[in-house]
Structure 1
Amino acid sequence: MFLVMVVSFIFVIVVIRNKANAKEETVLIDQQKGIKKTEVGRTSDLNFYRKLYEKKDINALIVGDSIAQGTGSSNVHERWINVLVKDVQKKYKSTIKTDPITGGGTTGVRAWVELNNAKFTKQYDVVFICLGQNDQFNIKPKQFSMFYEGIIIKLKKLNPNIEIIPIIESSFRQYNDYSNVIENLAEHYNLQYADMVQAFNNSGKPYDSLSKDLVHPNSKGYVYYAKTIEKVINDNYLSNKKTDIDYSVFYNNTNKLTDFVFDNSPDLNNGFTIEDGFIGNKVSENLTFNTTNSVAIIHFLRKPKGGKFKVFIDDNFIKEINTNSTFQVSYSDLIAYKLRGNHKIRIEISYIINKGSVKVLGLVTN
């Protein structure tokens, strides 16, 4: 009986100790989880420059046109972004992962549309905006200012701590109304821009020696892009720049872009088939959208064996858009930005390449 009591006592002691140890382990695990959670939260609050200082991984977004893509370089390694990533990693010991949005032929309109349409799965620390070359021939400076500022505001909403580095493209050759927009917005939002007009002019080399086709830089020209952007980054790094700022809208027209509406449900469809958009392959097939908003943008596909469509607002012809291209890419064309009241926007096929088609993705309004 005595032995039974001793064994029972020992068993009870062991059980109590095991429970105590288990409780201590649970507390320790919870503390470790708390520490990890705090670390994750702290890291997400760090801005681009603090992450460089702490040698953290960087997520970068590239918003822009074919120059943003590095078109004109001899190979992929000589594109400005890849030169920049390599140099930053060497200097700051931080790895930069880059994601492009938009591409060749991009204007501020398309960039704004696709930025708002994108479903991002990560938080970006820095974004490079490389726009303006194509805008000169597609939209007015007043419209460019509206969409460029709309892009900045959208990026700040995605991450208030994001660093935005605008690029004044070398292809401007000289300062103009479009570069002035970039300078004005940079000053207003405390952004330091990379001035490639100045960089090329101060290089001491003829412009054509730094450009492949007098628009796109060549590999030598893109070295100036990378070095100029590196200097912007380094200057901001040394000054411990703050990126979470209070801001207000600079251009009044930008207030029109507070909302983003992607309408892929036309009120009338005559002949288009539905397949991730609307595909038409016969002249006179048409789509009609009703809108009460002031901004109207047609979002469509440019592709080989495309065609043309005409745009009418309340039966008044606005413009004809060519969708034929050597490669497939989504595109956005501004139709109106001062509409008032109720309006009907009709898209009507006017020409089709043999065995081709027109693909409309939808109507974007504000």
Structure 2
Amino acid sequence: MKEKDPIRYTVIGDSIGRGSGAETPGQKWFKVLERRMFSEHGIRMSGSYIVQSGATSFEGLYRLSQFENSGKSDLVFIIFGENDRKYMKAKDFSVIYESLIRKAKAVYPKAEIMTITESCLTSNDFAAEIDAISDHYHASHIDMRPVFQKTGLSAAELTKDLVHPNGRGYQLYADAIYQQLTQDTIRKKEIAAIVDPIHEDTYENYESISSFQRKEGFIIKDGYMTSGQKGSQLEAEFYGNALGVNLLRSPDGGEIKVYIDGKFVTSMSTWWPFASERNLYIANGLSNGVHTVRFEVSGGKSHNNISNDSMTRISSIIVSKSSK
């Protein structure tokens, strides 16, 4: 900022990261920030985006780990939390979130990291993890919850749907980020750095495995193991400490049950309003050694699925070994 050089930034986040809820594209928080930076300092900002509506920090971490030509970035925004609390415990989120910061610094070693606690985050446990990890890595951190509260305006006035900010809400995001960047520049803050990890295990490198040792009721169609029949099963062996799945979410998506080493872990919906390849979190903190994951079609479906079908389409599992 002092040199008035162009700023290249990267956003890794969920729907708020991509500005969902803004009435117009120009009201997205990063577009507001770009305009202010140029009007007040003559600095041009340009961004790249690793964002997905409904994403968790696991999905952001996996997508970042797949980058081969990531280019350069001076500033990385990390915006997660609200979706994560629906699928994992705070301690599991903490490991993934720390891994994401470490991976971001590995991919963009000269970049500052700015973490944002979303205005809609209702879990204080998750917010506390974001704050503690940000502090540990000397990342610049903004908690948007008190920013919204200080306005005296209701959530209905600042959001589209009580979750996603509207143009007025995103103006608050842009203002808070601008002020933080300005303050950090004035006080000559040192950028975030990779230091010794908080957690014993972090997960920064992932691979996809598409081989399944057992298939019952599934057929290969359009590159996916596909089934709409209740009780159909897919089973795969893997070695790793964290597990996810690559699957297609779609308007006719159904529900699956997930078992690891024979124990029920979670149920997952594959419904989405439009077809979208997703990288979904299942578990982390698994012991070293060989594990077995089994996916079973439950026959149920989301109330949003108004089709006559309840389909499951899985392409591969995602595994990661501990970085230690």
Shared fold by TM > 0.5? yes
Change (3 A) 1:139 1:251: same
- The yes-or-no answer on 1:211 pairing with 2:211 is no
Which of 180, 200, 222 pairs up with 2:148?
200
- The yes-or-no answer on 1:349 pairing with 2:303 is no
State the partner residue of 1:177. 125
Which structure is richer in relative contact order (CA contacts within 8 A, separation 6 or more)? Answer: 2
Cα displacement (A) at 1:317: 3.1
- The yes-or-no answer on 1:112 pairing with 2:66 is no
Secondary structure in 2 matching 1:68: coil
CA deviation digits over 1:189-240, x for unaligned, max 9?
Answer: 1112122112112223233321222211121111110000001111122233
State the partner residue of 1:291. 238
Whichever residue aligns with residue 311 of structure 2, its letter is S
Q: Greater strand percent: which structure?
A: 2
Cα displacement (A) at 1:144: 0.9
Secondary structure in 1 matching 2:99: helix
State the partner residue of 1:359. 313
State the partner residue of 2:304. none
8 Å contact from structure 1 (residues 70, 79) kept in 2: yes
Q: State the alpha-carbon separation in 2 of the partners of residues 305 and 275 from structure 1.
A: 15
8 Å contact from structure 1 (residues 125, 163) kept in 2: yes
8 Å contact from structure 1 (residues 256, 295) kept in 2: no
Scaled by the length of structure 2, the TM-score of the pair is 0.87
Which of 256, 260, 264 pairs up with 2:206?
260
Which of 236, 254, 263 pairs up with 1:316?
263
Matches within 5 A, 1:1-366: 52-172=1-121, 176-243=124-191, 245-252=193-200, 255-270=201-216, 271-273=218-220, 275-329=222-276, 330-351=278-299, 354=308, 357-366=311-320
Q: State the alpha-carbon separation in 2 of the partners of residues 292 and 358 from structure 1.
A: 24
Q: State the alpha-carbon separation in 2 of the partners of residues 358 and 170 from structure 1.
A: 33
5+ residue gaps, structure 2: 302-306
Q: State the alpha-carbon separation in 2 of the partners of residues 218 and 244 from structure 1.
A: 30
Cα displacement (A) at 1:163: 1.0
Q: State the alpha-carbon separation in 2 of the partners of residues 248 and 130 from structure 1.
A: 23
Whichever residue aligns with residue 181 of structure 1, its letter is E
Cα displacement (A) at 1:335: 3.5
State the partner residue of 1:3. none
8 Å contact from structure 2 (residues 140, 192) kept in 1: no
**Cα root mean square deviation, aligned:** 2.3
Change (3 A) 1:117 1:283: farther
Q: Greater helix percent: which structure?
A: 1
Deviating more after overlay: 183-192 vs 308-317:
308-317
8 Å contact from structure 1 (residues 62, 101) kept in 2: yes
Change (3 A) 1:58 1:279: farther
8 Å contact from structure 2 (residues 239, 291) kept in 1: yes
Cα displacement (A) at 1:338: 2.3
8 Å contact from structure 1 (residues 285, 348) kept in 2: yes
Identity %: 26
8 Å contact from structure 1 (residues 55, 94) kept in 2: yes
Q: State the alpha-carbon separation in 2 of the partners of residues 338 and 355 from structure 1.
A: 34
5+ residue gaps, structure 1: 1-51
Q: State the alpha-carbon separation in 2 of the partners of residues 192 and 346 from structure 1.
A: 41
Cα displacement (A) at 1:157: 0.5
Scaled by the length of structure 1, the TM-score of the pair is 0.78
Whichever residue aligns with residue 194 of structure 1, its letter is I
Deviating more after overlay: 52-61 vs 144-153:
52-61
Whichever residue aligns with residue 237 of structure 1, its letter is T
Cα displacement (A) at 1:246: 4.9
Q: State the alpha-carbon separation in 2 of the partners of residues 123 and 303 from structure 1.
A: 34
Change (3 A) 1:99 1:70: same
